[in-house]
């Protein structure tokens, strides 16, 4: 499957609606699209029309735009059976990305399983911030040593390895299953060589590595525990809680990372940390309490939400 299946399609297609498909026989593309949408909508799936298009396109091996060029084409019995199975899984509210095993990030297709957090587009803000900092400082990638903490599916390590060829990158996660997925994604995008994958809790596996970093990036768990009952079933029931749960206020893991990071970040180096909505001010204070950091600032996403905290390691021995 290509990443086309998970891309957003133009408004002229996504906004056409499926009400005009009622004249198509039920086992044609048009009829199946209508049935799939209605079935998903009845199950409470948030975007039933888009998901119907993705699932049908996946089964037929075409991109979503091409579905609308052949609406009267009949599905084979094998295609119908395969689609029925996928619809069943989606009506249980299993995330589409887990069903198909793929998610796009930074215009690249990444393997995802139920053992990793599904990549979100807002995490691209973190990538942009890192690349802007490297460019602004004029640091050659060959001189960079970076750490991706809580790497999950490996999207940050992989993208940064591609964008900054020659950099040395360490990727750490507590989950063995997540590291297997991350390593698969590194192989897929041909950046296995510059990335060292380590399993362990936060900085623990780095204790005997004798390494320090010019850049640390992290997308840690930051959802407050009290929010879990109200989350969509796709997130609450299927994504790994270990990758989501940040404790009572969402900041337990973030506080640990901030406290421990100063020992691994070189003076002058930068730390980029993804945060949740409404956490910016408190995380800013956490950095400012640690006298080892300066130039702390919040980067907002395209919706104006606090998304990334940027902080620089300064020379402080107090």
pLDDT digits (tens, 9 = 90+) for 265-290: 999 999 999 999 999 999 999 998 88
C-alpha–C-alpha distance, residues 92 and 219, integer Å:
28
Is 3-92 CATH 1.10.8? Answer: yes
**7: confidence class by pLDDT, cuts 50, 70, 90:** very low
Q: Which of 58-62, 188-192, 241-245, 289-293 is predicted with the least confidence, judged by mean pLDDT?
A: 289-293
C-alpha–C-alpha distance, residues 29 and 35, integer Å:
10
Phi-psi region of 41 (alpha: psi -120 to 50; beta: other; left: phi over 0): alpha
**176: confidence class by pLDDT, cuts 50, 70, 90:** very high
Q: List the one residue out of 308, 238, 248 whose CA is nearest residue 273.
A: 308
C-alpha–C-alpha distance, residues 127 and 155, integer Å:
10
Does residue 255 contact residue 221 with C-beta atoms inside 8 Å?
no
**64: confidence class by pLDDT, cuts 50, 70, 90:** confident
Helix, strand and coil content of the chain, in percent to the nearest 5, comes to 45, 20, 35
Q: How many CB atoms lie within 10 A of CB 108?
A: 16
Q: How many residues comprise the chain?
A: 318
What superfamily does domain 114-313 belong to in CATH?
Vaccinia Virus protein VP39 (3.40.50.150)
What letter would DSSP give residue 193? Answer: T
What letter would DSSP give residue 245? Answer: B
Residue 5 confidence (pLDDT): 39
What is the mean pLDDT of the segment spanning 296-300?
A: 95
Q: List alpha helices for 61-175, DSSP H.
A: 64-67, 77-91, 96-100, 124-137, 155-163
- Extents of the domains making up the chain: 3-92, 114-313
């Amino acid at each position: 499957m290509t990443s086309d299946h998970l891309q957003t399609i133009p408004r002229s297609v996504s906004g056409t609606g499926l009400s005009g498909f009622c004249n198509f026989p039920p086992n044609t593309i048009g009829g199946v699209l209508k049935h799939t949408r209605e079935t998903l909508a009845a199950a409470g799936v948030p975007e039933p029309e888009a998901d119907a298009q993705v699932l049908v396109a996946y089964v037929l091996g075409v991109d979503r735009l091409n579905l609308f060029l052949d609406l009267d084409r009949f599905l084979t019995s094998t295609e119908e059976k395969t689609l029925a199975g996928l619809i069943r899984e989606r009506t249980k509210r299993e995330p589409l990305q887990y069903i198909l095993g793929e998610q796009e990030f930074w215009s690249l297709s990444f393997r995802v399983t139920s053992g990793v957090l599904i990549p979100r587009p807002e995490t691209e803000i973190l990538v942009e911030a890192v690349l802007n900092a490297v460019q602004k400082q004029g640091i050659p990638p060959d001189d960079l040593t970076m750490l991706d903490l809580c790497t999950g599916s490996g999207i940050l390590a992989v993208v940064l390895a591609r964008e900054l060829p020659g950099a040395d990158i360490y990727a750490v996660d507590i989950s063995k299953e997540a590291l297997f997925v991350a390593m698969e994604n590194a192989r897929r995008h041909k950046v296995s060589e510059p990335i060292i994958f380590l399993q362990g809790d936060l900085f623990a596996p780095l204790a005997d590595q004798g390494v320090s970093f010019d850049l640390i990036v992290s997308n840690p768990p930051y959802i407050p525990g009290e929010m879990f009952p109200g989350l969509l079933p796709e997130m609450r029931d299927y994504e790994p809680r270990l990758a989501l749960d940040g404790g009572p206020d969402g900041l337990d893991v973030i506080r640990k990372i901030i406290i421990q990071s100063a020992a691994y970040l070189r003076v002058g180096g930068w730390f980029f940390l993804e945060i949740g909505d409404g956490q910016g001010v408190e995380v800013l204070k956490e950095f400012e309490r640690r006298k080892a950091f300066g130039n702390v600032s919040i980067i907002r996403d395209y919706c104006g939400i606090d998304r990334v905290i940027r902080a620089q390691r300064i020379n402080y021995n107090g």
